[in-house]
Amino acid sequence: MERNEGLSDFLRARRAAIDPEHVGIHDPAPRRVPGLRREELAALAGVSVDYYTRLEQGRPITPSESVLDALASALRLDPAERSYLHTVARRSASPRRRSPRTVQKVRPGVHALLARLGDAPALVLGRRTDILATNRMARALLADFDALPVRERNAVRWVMLDEAARSLFADSWEQVASVFVGTLRMDAARHPDDTRTAELVGELSMKSESFRRWWAGQKVVQIGHDVKHLHHPIVGALTMRTEALTFPGDPDQTLFTFLADPGSPSDEALQVLSAWAANHGRAGTARGGAEDAETRAAAPRPHDAPPPSA
């Protein structure tokens, strides 16, 4: 029987992240390692030290729902982390089989929905944050994913490795990137035998120090709604509300939209970007300021967008 390394790594990381003072443990003696000791966490969760130790060692045992809930409370897990704990704890201890390389397809109705969203940038995220479909405005706002090789159409890969993505999110890049890494970890827990996920994690671990750090930190995120600040090379500063909606009957596909408040400077900027993209076709995708300064200067600009840099 295989060790449950996912459960083992997660419990270790979350235990190390707990400040003893925050859970009412006052110990003046210096600690050799950060976080709680095993016996302290076991006491908080109401389980024996021996049983918790075996769980943290990844022994092939299946804890009850009540034990998992008690551990989640003791570790102060948020809803996404709690869901992750239950998912990895349920992994079968029997030898695992690699999943076949199935291709995810987007329904025609979803493609039609993307097109009908008009000036609202939208895309469909699939398993392992693969980008399965985009509308015209998503390509103008983010990147022309349709023009990339299929294996590179992935949100985590794009945000971690593409300098244009780093420039687009500017001061919020670390927050955005770490959220996508946490989303990938959640997906990896749901599909532990997916070979393409393993390949993606391996590639990003070799190419990005930030990815290695966040992945080792066991960050888990259930993608939802947020506010993101972008700096687009054509229209400048944008404040966007993002929403993530999972399709009923297909939990592995999520509609991800960027919305500006009606009448706001960002809404005006999106209208400018829409007109610019319509005039430039596929070449209208802005990739880190690759357009020449003359083209950018010629585009009409809303009053909240800073002047273009030459």
Band (pLDDT 50/70/90 cuts) for residue 101 is low
What does the radius of gyration of the chain's CA atoms come to, in whole angstroms? 22
Structural domain includes residue 285: yes
Spatial contact of 165 and 155, defined as CB atoms under 8 Å apart: no
Spatial contact of 63 and 56, defined as CB atoms under 8 Å apart: no
Spatial contact of 12 and 56, defined as CB atoms under 8 Å apart: yes
Question: What is the spatial distance between Cα 13 and Cα 145, in angstroms, rounded to a whole number?
Answer: 34
Query: Full-prediction pTM beyond 0.75?
Result: yes
Q: Which amino acid is at 258?
A: F
Which of 89, 122, 147 finishes a domain?
89
**pLDDT above 50 for 290:** no
Band (pLDDT 50/70/90 cuts) for residue 127 is very high
Of the two residues 153 and 282, the one the predictor is more confident about is 153
Tokens of 287: 């990739």
**Tens-place pLDDT, residues 33-92:** 788 889 999 999 999 999 999 999 988 888 999 999 999 999 999 999 999 999 999 874
- Same domain for 134 and 265: yes
- Same domain for 114 and 79: no
- Same domain for 115 and 31: no
Q: What angle do CA 195, 201, 202 make, to 5 degrees?
A: 90
Structural domain includes residue 307: no
**Tens-place pLDDT, residues 218-234:** 989 888 888 999 999 99
Band (pLDDT 50/70/90 cuts) for residue 18 is confident
Spatial contact of 122 and 219, defined as CB atoms under 8 Å apart: no
- Which domain range does residue 16 map to? 5-89
- Same domain for 176 and 239: yes
Residue 15: count of CB within 10 angstroms of its CB:
21
Query: What is the rounded average pLDDT of the residues 245-256?
Result: 87
Band (pLDDT 50/70/90 cuts) for residue 120 is very high
Which of 29, 54, 89 finishes a domain?
89
Q: Are strands 236-247 and 250-259 parallel, antiparallel or unpaired?
A: antiparallel
- Same domain for 293 and 148: yes
Structural domain includes residue 185: yes
Q: CA distances (Å), 127 to each of 92, 137, 142, 207, 255, in order?
A: 21, 22, 20, 21, 12
Structural domain includes residue 99: no
- Same domain for 230 and 178: yes
**CATH code, domain carrying 72:** 1.10.260.40
List phi, psi (to 5°) of 130: -60, 140
User: Which H helix or E strand runs over 227?
Assistant: strand 226-232
Structural domain includes residue 310: no
Tokens of 188: 């990896």
- Residue with the two structure tokens 């960027």: 258
- Same domain for 252 and 190: yes
User: Which H helix or E strand runs over 255?
Assistant: strand 250-259
- Residue with the two structure tokens 């010629």: 298
- Same domain for 122 and 73: no
* Exposed e or buried b per residue across 222-245, where buried means at least 16 C-beta atoms within 10 angstroms of its C-beta: bbeeeebebbbbbbbbbbbebbee
How many Å is the maximal CA-CA distance in the chain? 69
- Same domain for 268 and 120: yes
Residue 171 is classified by DSSP as G
* Exposed e or buried b per residue across 121-137, where buried means at least 16 C-beta atoms within 10 angstroms of its C-beta: bbbbbbbbbbbbbbbbb
